[in-house]
């Protein structure tokens, strides 16, 4: 985990979304905020969830609002400057 901040500095072009629960008892929210600040990419977003704990996306913890925010971010970045090849599927 000590390399996280150094590795964050190396992320220059890749979009990054970080989601932190402010009630997280396992990972201090400030650690996620610090990591966010170390990211070199200009295309970064930090979502803090006031009532969120460590397992934000577990069943029963992910509110529809959080889900929609994450989906919105993903949709806004889908295919952005990238070509995605669909796998060949045999039926």
Task: Please write the tens of the pLDDT for every residue from 34-64.
Answer: 999 999 999 999 999 888 888 888 888 888 8
How is residue 66 written in tokens? 């959080």
| pTM summary value | 0.78
What average pLDDT is seen over the chain? 85
The CA distance from 79 to 53, in Å, is 31
3-state secondary structure of 12: coil
């Amino acid at each position: 985990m000590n390399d996280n901040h150094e590795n964050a500095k190396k992320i220059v072009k890749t979009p990054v979304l970080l989601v932190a629960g402010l009630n997280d008892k396992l990972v201090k929210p400030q650690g996620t905020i610090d990591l966010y600040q170390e990211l070199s990419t200009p295309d970064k977003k930090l979502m803090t969830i006031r009532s969120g704990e460590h397992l934000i996306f577990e069943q029963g913890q992910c509110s529809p609002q959080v889900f929609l925010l994450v989906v919105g971010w993903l949709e806004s970045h889908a295919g952005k400057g990238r070509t995605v090849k669909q796998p060949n599927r045999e039926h």
